[in-house]
Structure 1
Amino acid sequence: MEKISVLIVEDQLLIAQNLKAILMDHDFDVLETVVSGEDAIDLVNKTLPDLILMDIHLAGELDGIATAEKIRQKHDIPIIYLSDHTDSETVDRAKKTFPANYLSKPFRTGDLLRALEIAFVNAAKPAKTASTTKLKDRIFIRIDNQKSKMISYEDIIYLEADRAYSSVMTDEKEYKLSNNMRMISDQLNSSDFIKVSRKHIVNINRVTGIDGNMIKLGDKHEVQMSKSYRDDVMSCFNLIK
C-alpha cells in the first residue's frame, strides 16, 4: 500500500524526533522535519505532502497558524496543529485556518494516529458544494488578465496539481492556472470528476482503460492512480469479469 507522506513542522528537537519515530513505526512516510514556517512553506511547494503536523509556536517570524494560512492559499493539504497552549485566543485563530485537527501537548500516540487517519480519509472525500450553481456543464477559465474562455466539462480530460499551481488538460490544450486543484474541482461541482491521486482528478467519462495503476484517457493521455484511491475509483465503474 502506498505510504501517506507527512511533513513535521516542530522546533523542539526531542518532540520532532519522537513524532518521526512514531510515524515511521506505523508505516507513514516522513518527508522531513523542519523548525520554521519559512522552511515549511518552501518544502511544501517542493514535495506536496499528504498531511502536515504543525506546531503552533515555531522558531522564526511565522508561527504555525500564520504558516498554515500561507500554505492554504496555494495548497489543499490537511494540517493538524500541535500545541501546549489551548487558550481561547490561540484556538480561535487556529479555527480560522480550518485545521484537520488540533492536538494538545502532551498527546497520546493513539490520539495522534487517529487524527492522522481521519484527516487523510476526509481529504480524500469529495468536498460538499452548494446545491445550485450558475453553470452545470461548463466553466470559465481565465487565460490572462483580460480574457476568459468557456470550457465544456466534456472537453476536460483531467486536472493536475503542480506545486503552487494547477493545470486543466483539455483536448485542445493545457491551461496553467494559479488556483489549487481542490478549488477548481469545487467550482466544477460535478460527480464526473474524481480524485485518483493527490495530484490528479480525472473526468470519468474520458476514461478508456485501466492498466494496473495507470488510468488511460484516450490515446494520448494517462495518469497514475494511487493505491489508496483505487477502491473509490473502481466503484465508479461497472466491472464484468
Structure 2
Amino acid sequence: MSKVRVFIVEDDFIHANRLEMYLEEMGYELAGLVANAEEAINLIAATKPDLLLVDIHLEGNRDGVQMVEQLNKKNPIPAIFITSFRDKETFDRAKLTDPYAYIIKPYDKDMLQAAIELAVYKFSKTSKHLDTIHTQTDYQGWNEDQLVNDTMYVKSNGSLVKIKLSDILCVEAKDKICQIGLIKESIDTRISLQKLEEQLISDRFLRVHRSFIINKEAISQVNLSESKVSVGQYAVPIGRSYKASFLNSLGQLPD
C-alpha cells in the first residue's frame, strides 16, 4: 500500500501552501510543487505523480490548460483544474483537455477531497476498458502505466490509498466494511464486497465464500477436510456453495 502522489502547479503562494497543507491532512503524498508550466513539465516526467492539481492561470508563457494539453500528447496524467475565474471561455478551453475535475477558488478541504475521489473514480472506469478500445502498440500514458503497475485505489481512513494487486492476499467482508489483507498489513475500506470484487478485474482473484475473496496466486495450502485455504498468513474458509468452482479453478475435481 502506498499514498496517492499529487503534483501541484500553482503560482499563488498562499493557495500553494493551502493545497500542500490539505494534502498532508488528507494523507496524500506531495510529489512536487512548482509555479510555472515549463518547470512542471520537466519535473512531472521525472517524478511520475498519480494526479495533478493545476491552476489554470500561471505565470510564464504557458497557462495550465496549455501545459496539460502538452502532457496529454505524450504522457497523460489525470488533472484537476483550479481557477478563480468563472468565465465560459476559460471553462471551454479547460474542457477540451478532458480534465478529471474542475474546482473554483475559494475551495475547502472537503471540496478538494471530493475532486480527488472523482478523478480517481473516473480513471478507474476508463482503465477497465483500455484493452478493448486500444491496440497494444498505442501508448496510453498514465492509464497504461497503472495497468502495467497492477494497482487499484480504495478509500481508507478518509483518504485514497494505492494498492498493488499482487500484494492483496484476501478480502473479508465485515459488517459495513471490507478488510483487505495485504502481505505486510491490512486496511479497512467502506465498500461492499461485491463492489470491491468488480474492481478486482484480474483473473487471479476468486470468491471462495460469501464473505471472502482470495488471490489464487498466493495459495500455499488447501485443507479439504476443514474446508480452508491458506493464503499467506490468512486461513480462509471455503463456502460449501463455492467449493466446486474453487477446486475446478485449481484443476481439481470436487469429492
Note the 1:98-109 alignment, pairs <5 A.
98-109=98-109
Secondary structure class of the residue paired with 2:2: coil
Deviation at 1:129, TM superposition (A): 5.7
TM-score by length of 1: 0.60
Secondary structure class of the residue paired with 1:106: coil
Deviation at 1:56, TM superposition (A): 0.4
Contact 1:124 1:195 (8 Å CA) reproduced: no
Aligned to 1:46: 46
Aligned to 1:170: none
Deviation readout 1:117-172 (Å, 9 max, x if unpaired)? 11123213344769x97x9xxx574xxxxxxxxxxxxxxxxxxxxxxxxxxxxxxx
Larger radius of gyration: 2
**Counterpart-to-counterpart distance in 2, 1:77 and 1:238:** 31
Q: Which amino acid aligns with 1:197?
A: T
Secondary structure class of the residue paired with 1:125: helix
**Cα distance change on mapping 1:212 and 1:127 into 2, 3 Å:** closer
Contact 2:55 2:82 (8 Å CA) reproduced: yes
Deviation at 1:76, TM superposition (A): 2.8
Secondary structure class of the residue paired with 1:53: strand
Aligned to 1:121: 121
Deviation at 1:85, TM superposition (A): 0.7
Aligned to 1:55: 55
Aligned to 1:238: 206
Q: Which amino acid aligns with 1:34?
A: V
Aligned to 2:85: 85
Contact 2:150 2:166 (8 Å CA) reproduced: no
Secondary structure class of the residue paired with 2:82: strand
Contact 2:6 2:53 (8 Å CA) reproduced: yes
Aligned to 2:5: 5
Q: Which amino acid aligns with 1:91?
A: F
Aligned to 2:150: 196
Contact 1:23 1:29 (8 Å CA) reproduced: yes
Deviation at 1:73, TM superposition (A): 1.2
Aligned to 1:66: 66
**Cα distance change on mapping 1:235 and 1:35 into 2, 3 Å:** same
Deviation readout 1:62-83 (Å, 9 max, x if unpaired)? 1000001011112231100000
Higher helix proportion (structure 1 or 2): 2
Secondary structure class of the residue paired with 2:86: coil
Deviation at 1:22, TM superposition (A): 0.7
Aligned to 1:180: 141
Deviation at 1:109, TM superposition (A): 1.6
Aligned to 2:219: none
Contact 2:8 2:32 (8 Å CA) reproduced: yes
Q: Which amino acid aligns with 2:42?
A: D
**Identical aligned pairs, as a percentage?**
31
**Counterpart-to-counterpart distance in 2, 1:25 and 1:115:** 15
**Cα distance change on mapping 1:118 and 1:184 into 2, 3 Å:** closer
Deviation readout 1:201-229 (Å, 9 max, x if unpaired)? xxxxxxxxx87469xxxxxxxxxxxx99x
**Cα distance change on mapping 1:47 and 1:58 into 2, 3 Å:** same
**Counterpart-to-counterpart distance in 2, 1:179 and 1:101:** 19
**Cα distance change on mapping 1:54 and 1:26 into 2, 3 Å:** same
> Number of matched residues?
171
**Counterpart-to-counterpart distance in 2, 1:178 and 1:23:** 30
Alignment RMSD, CA only?
3.5
TM-score by length of 2: 0.57
